[in-house]
Amino acid sequence: MMEWRDQGAVLTMRPHGESSAIIEVFTAAHGRHAGVVRGGASRRMAAVVQPGTQVDVVWRARLDEQIGSYTVEPLQSRAGLMADRLALAGLNAICAMLHAALPERESHPALYRHSIALLNALQTPGWPPDYLRWEQALLEELGFALDLTRCAITGSREDLAYVSPKTGRAVNRDAAGDWAARLLPLPPVMLGQGPASRIEIAQGLAITGHFLTRSLEPTLNGRPLPEARHRLLDLLARE
């Protein structure tokens, strides 16, 4: 019998049979990992297995390659976010992006800590820049880190204004020249400069979205990034 215990956040839940559910949990040591919860479709367990809920889980299976079963204990409910449309959209986007981007059963401890911190931050105002930085961290975890430290052409650290859509490297305003229209605008918030406006957040998410789409192309197989992310961007544009 295989068995381990871990903590994590529920990413997805779908009914299984008459009374059970299959949940996917992003765990600290075991990554994105699915399992069956007996009675998980019951009214009593509904709040426990909702996406975003922080849980303590014990996973058991006869063989490691089997889906196995979870025993679940709630640690932190994020049901309070239901009353905040933007925060709920942020939670759904985080869960959907982790589900779409991460290989199953592969540990990502740094991204796990960053993700839990972001889920907690949704309860406070001013979290959208944190979500943008989280998408940058997700890109880095996937091996597509952006290089925004210096101009790819001149090496200068001054007046960085664009990102190359091919390389993910920053470009100085003067160095961009006639090519500026083909580059992605680089908002100051991605350089750690000052508070972020609504326009800057949109520009930043256009950059991360471009490279997430490219890095996840084999997984997405021609599909767009998760709809939950598009709903978040739409709400951010209205704020």
**What's this model's pTM, rounded to 2 decimal places?**
0.95
Which stretches of the chain are DSSP H helices? 85-101, 109-121, 128-141, 173-176, 198-215, 217-220, 227-238
Token reading at 140: 């880095």
Residue 93 scores a pLDDT above 90: yes
Per residue in 135-177, pLDDT tens? 999 999 999 999 999 999 999 999 999 999 999 999 999 999 9
Per residue in 97-130, pLDDT tens? 999 999 999 999 999 999 999 999 999 989 999 9
User: Average pLDDT, whole number, for the chain?
Assistant: 95
Query: Residue 143 has what pLDDT?
Result: 94
Per residue in 11-35, pLDDT tens? 999 999 989 999 999 999 999 999 9
